[in-house]
Structure 1
Amino acid sequence: MNNKTVLEKANAAVAEGDHETFLMYCTENTKWTFVGDRILSSKEEIRLYMADVYKKPPKFNVEIMVAEGDYVTVTGTISLFSEDGRWKEYDYCDIWRFEEGKMAELKAFVIKNNS
């Protein structure tokens, strides 16, 4: 399976609320950096993050996905269900680095969409 397909399958699992299947596509020491916000440094930290932030499965709208070597870059929008009971939309750019067919590192730029 190529890296782009891995990411598509992983994101499909998240969109269905299946965090454990998503995590199967990640390396054990996967690292997520949300630029300007936080860094998650293990599969367990990501599991806890997903349980907290993805109480309802997020809604993805992928606009562009480009794969090159060990990297897949994705831009689009994501809607997250917030604690105040409303969906909030964000623009994002994710840069994924892969190791041996698994997602090893994410650098994410996420900006609240105020329109």
Structure 2
Amino acid sequence: MQPSNKEIGERFSKGNFSFCYDYFAENIEWKIIGNTTVRGKEDVIAYCDKMSAEIGSDTLINSNTIFENNQIAIEGNCRFVGPDGKPSEIAYCDVYRFDNSKIASITSYCIETKEA
């Protein structure tokens, strides 16, 4: 049984990228505002694999999920140790659009906070 769109989005936002690969549309587009845009299933998977290696044991916590029909918005925080060895935190909001139970687009907003 296929997981719900909500579960797929929540898993992705928590950094469980590989769980979601089967639910990417072939022409998926991931916009990371202020950083990059990645297009196409293979390139998004490669970017996710790179991010997985970088975030390692970081803590990603989803704190708020809003969903309606084929759109989901998930807010959360990521706590990690920065390159300088100091703890850091990023607040994020991932906005998903699904088409035929596949993620068609993701727009991610990430802001470093001072609350680490």
TM-score by length of 1: 0.78
* SS of residue matched to 1:79: strand
Number of residue pairs aligned between Structure 1 and Structure 2: 111
* Change beyond 3 A, Cα 1:48–1:57: farther
Deviation at 1:8, TM superposition (A): 3.1
Q: Check whether the contact 1:75–1:94 (CA below 8 A) recurs between aligned residues.
A: yes
* SS of residue matched to 1:90: strand
Q: 1:43 matched to which residue of 2?
A: 41
Deviation at 1:59, TM superposition (A): 2.5
Structure 1 segments unaligned to the other structure (5+ residues) = none
Deviation at 1:30, TM superposition (A): 0.9
**CA RMSD across the alignment:** 2.3
Q: 2:21 matched to which residue of 1?
A: 23
Aligned counterparts of 2:49 and 2:86: Cα–Cα separation in 1:
17
Deviation at 1:11, TM superposition (A): 5.0
- Identity between Structure 1 and Structure 2 (%): 22
Deviation at 1:102, TM superposition (A): 1.5
Aligned counterparts of 1:77 and 1:23: Cα–Cα separation in 2:
22
Q: 1:74 matched to which residue of 2?
A: 74
Aligned counterparts of 2:46 and 2:109: Cα–Cα separation in 1:
20
* Change beyond 3 A, Cα 1:43–1:79: farther
Deviation at 1:80, TM superposition (A): 4.9
